[in-house]
Structure 1
Amino acid sequence: MPAYVPFVPLPLDQEDVRYEYGPDSARRPGVLRGFTVELCWDSTVYPGTTRKVWIHVPAAYNPAEPAGLVLFQDGWWYLDPDGDVRGGIVLDNLVHHGDIPVTIGVFVDPGVFESIEDPTGRTNRSAEYDAFDGRYGAFLLEEIIPEVRRRFAVSDDPERWGIVGGSSGGNCALTVAWHHPDRFRRVAGFLSSFTQLPGGNNYPALIHTTLRKPLRIFMQAGHRDLRWNEPDHNWLAENLRVAAALTEAGYDLRLVLGDGGHSPNHAGVLLPDALRWLWRTPQG
């Protein structure tokens, strides 16, 4: 059976575009709300940093049945029920309707140095998200996830573990899964900032020369993302290069190309379908 897509005219202006949300991005009648636990966390992997972490548990969670796990970077931006992404609401809706298995969402803010007064120097976001190494993944695996598992039953199956992020959080999500494919198998990256990787974007070359990893990857790129018409440090072009390399290497990839600039709006609209696609059965 073909999948029919309703006709929607393309906007002539590609700069100032805002996508309308679907029903799974709002509270739906009859869907029980999950609950959220807020933590303050002082890191040892990133000494001197502190951050907030939110653990969102859908109402269908049963301690006798270990849940899946999905990690969101830029925690509150992705959890805020009045924000652009509304991750907790989306999880409640998808789990309630059986679109994805029972999955706990962990929303992790980037670290800050509270001892530094200058706001520009307080955040550790770029050092954590834009680095191309296994350190941030180790932080999640050694510090955050054990705390989640201390409180809730979580499956050991890496096919039920995912990681999501946008902008620098998007390339961070892929980097975590790239270095830890034994734990993270589902990846969603929205408007990823591959241009900000130290030394440039080495993913296209790496993907071609590395044995394919067991990852399923959802990507979103924007026609008018940062420096979209510049010859270097072009967010759109680098996302397309990564997507092309993944396709050529035979990865299970879905790329959505939209209009608009470096905004989380389209990511929020896509999140329900992205999670459905990432957690679909293999034959789906």
Structure 2
Amino acid sequence: MTFLLDEVVPLVTERFAISDDPDRWGICGGSSGGNGAFTAAWHRPDRLRRVVAYLSSFAQMPGGNPYPALLPTVPRKPLRVLLQAGHRDLNWNEPESNWLAENLRTAAALAETGHDIRLVLGDGGHSANHGGVLLPDALRWVWRDGDRPGAGGAA
């Protein structure tokens, strides 16, 4: 996260006008990048508040997926999160390291704690196909007009 905010972003802002408003900043990723995108916004909502995370690898986090247990214990963060999961993602029919189940648990915890969340389920496996088709709608959804993520309630 430090590399992104302290080294990459300054190179971009030297060439382009970029808003300082964290509600206008987003991050997107798939697989480990989906987990990384969510985790970056979770730890730095002062800079990033819009998240698109495809087939996130919550099941592979060292020590297990912390978010389902963590979310109810901390104040709600001003995030708007779109999670995409596949019905046949890795270990979809196994009791452990089940990527689908961990995405569903994370989405449920976000919803139950009042976060602005959208869960999109696809029928595929661990493939970028669904995410690629979904991207235009995902970007429209995370940057839709209406309540700002920190203002409460999902739109």
TM-score (norm 1): 0.51
2:29 to 165, 168, 177: 165
For 1:84-99, list aligned pairs within 5 A.
none
* TM-aligned CA deviation for residue 139 of structure 1: 1.2
SS of equivalent residue, structure 2 residue 126: coil
SS of equivalent residue, structure 2 residue 36: helix
The alignment status of 1:195 with 2:59, answered yes or no, reads yes
Structure 2: stretches of 5+ with no match in the other structure: 148-154
- Code of the residue aligned with 2:61 in structure 1: it is L
- Code of the residue aligned with 1:171 in structure 2: it is N
State how many pairs are aligned.
Answer: 148
SS of equivalent residue, structure 1 residue 242: helix
The alignment status of 1:248 with 2:94, answered yes or no, reads no
1:277 to 130, 141, 145: 141
Aligned partner of 1:144 in structure 2 is: 8
2:131 to 250, 259, 267: 267
Aligned partner of 1:134 in structure 2 is: none
Runs of 4+ in 1 over 6 A off after TM superposition: none
Compare the two structures and name the one with the higher helix fraction: 2
- Code of the residue aligned with 1:243 in structure 2: it is A
1:238 to 85, 98, 102: 102
Aligned partner of 1:227 in structure 2 is: 91
* TM-aligned CA deviation for residue 217 of structure 1: 0.3
Name the % identity: 70
The alignment status of 1:156 with 2:20, answered yes or no, reads yes
The alignment status of 1:218 with 2:82, answered yes or no, reads yes
SS of equivalent residue, structure 1 residue 148: helix
> How large is the RMSD of aligned CA atoms in angstroms?
0.8
Aligned partner of 1:176 in structure 2 is: 40
- Code of the residue aligned with 2:91 in structure 1: it is R
SS of equivalent residue, structure 1 residue 163: strand
Taking the aligned partners of 2:16 and 2:121, their CA distance within structure 1 comes to 37
Aligned partner of 2:150 in structure 1 is: none
Aligned partner of 1:21 in structure 2 is: none
- Code of the residue aligned with 2:104 in structure 1: it is L
Taking the aligned partners of 1:153 and 1:198, their CA distance within structure 2 comes to 38
SS of equivalent residue, structure 1 residue 154: coil
Taking the aligned partners of 2:81 and 2:48, their CA distance within structure 1 comes to 11
* TM-aligned CA deviation for residue 158 of structure 1: 0.6
Relative contact order higher in (CA < 8 Å, ≥ 6 apart): 2
* TM-aligned CA deviation for residue 142 of structure 1: 0.7
SS of equivalent residue, structure 1 residue 221: strand
- Code of the residue aligned with 2:53 in structure 1: it is G
* TM-aligned CA deviation for residue 269 of structure 1: 0.4
TM-score (norm 2): 0.93
Higher Cα Rg, which structure: 1
- Code of the residue aligned with 1:231 in structure 2: it is P
